[in-house]
Amino acid sequence: MSEAPLIVERDAYGLPGVLCITLNRPGAFNALSEALLDALQRALDEASESDARVVVIAGSGRAFCAGHDLKEMRAEPSLDYYRALFARCSQMMLTIQRMPQPVIARVHGIATAAGCQLVAMCDLAVAASDARFAASGVNYGLFCATPSVPLSRNVSRKAAFEMLVTGDFIDANTALERGLVNRVAEPDRLDDATRALAASICEKPRAAIAAGKGLFYRQLEAGIESAYQLAGETMACNMMDDAALEGTQAFIDKRTPNWRKP
């Protein structure tokens, strides 16, 4: 019997409300097979509707994710098949952005091609100091077109384009400098660093985080006037939330908001 393509852990890192989804194809460096893509889509859909506060995406074995399963892709070389496959993958990536919970990529080993895309698509990323990243498809004659979408929205245009046309690896510290990841930790402290970031988010009001995440991506794709309009409306609605009313009153009273107390 084959192993499940995903491992889903609730209250991960000992934190209530943190859901960890682990890609579980270690022998294939967690390459995104059709079965894994479908399982990840289902897990993200379920997480989106759950009471989870933060979602972590991790990888089992020696790598985070080596991108699409090229053996599987090569077995059915038809235009309709490839169109359907990349549409499914794009839908999964968009689900990460559309769900209300912040999603953290916990990266070790390599994150290449669609694996690098997955890191870029997550809201946040914590990487081991020995992790490496590449948009490597061009090395095999396949320009990483879909990975270019989130990559170019995370790092500068020239840095993104260099990765896409060379396929060269960058290390974790370079990824940090370029904005692809948020934090870098020694491999034996990667879980601690991921836990610390998740814990900081879990301390904040759920409604404010969900509203803020939705607004963040909408305003990025809008012109500046529309962005301010969207932001103002979001902030006004957020201000009417009980947590915001309590938080602002606590600031005035010079005390801790009641939702931050143990």
Q: Which positions of the chain have pLDDT values less than 50?
A: 1
| CA atoms of 159 and 162, how far apart (whole Å) | 5
Q: Which of these, 152, 135, 153, lies nearest to 68 by C-alpha position? A: 135
Torsion of CA 79, 80, 86, 91, to 10 degrees: 160
Contact 131, 64 (CB under 8 A): yes
Model pLDDT for residues 115-168, shown as the tens digit of each residue: 999 999 999 999 999 999 999 999 999 999 999 999 999 999 999 999 999 999
Which two three-digit tokens encode residue 117?
């895309």
CA 258 to chain centre: 30
SS (H, E, C) the chain: CCCCCEEEEECHHHCCCEEEEEECCHHHCCCECHHHHHHHHHHHHHHHCCCCCEEEEEECCCCCECCECHHHHHCCCCHHHHHHHHHHHHHHHHHHHHCCCCEEEEECCEEECHHHHHHHHCCEEEEECCCEEECHHHHHCCCCHHHHHHHCCCCCHHHHHHHHHHCCCEEHHHHHHHCCCCEEECHHHHHHHHHHHHHHHHCCCHHHHHHHHHHHHHHHCCCHHHHHHHHHHHHHHHHCCHHHHHHHHHHHHCCCCHHHCC
What was the pLDDT predicted at 261? 63
Set out the domains of the chain in order of their start, with CATH numbers: 6-202 (3.90.226.10), 206-260 (1.10.12.10)
What percent of the chain clears pLDDT 90, i.e. is strictly above it? 80
Read off the amino acid at residue 27: G
What was the pLDDT predicted at 243? 84
Cβ count within 10 A of residue 44: 24
Strands 6-10 and 18-23 turn out to be: antiparallel
What was the pLDDT predicted at 1? 46
What was the pLDDT predicted at 231? 87
| CA atoms of 165 and 34, how far apart (whole Å) | 26
| CA atoms of 36 and 261, how far apart (whole Å) | 40
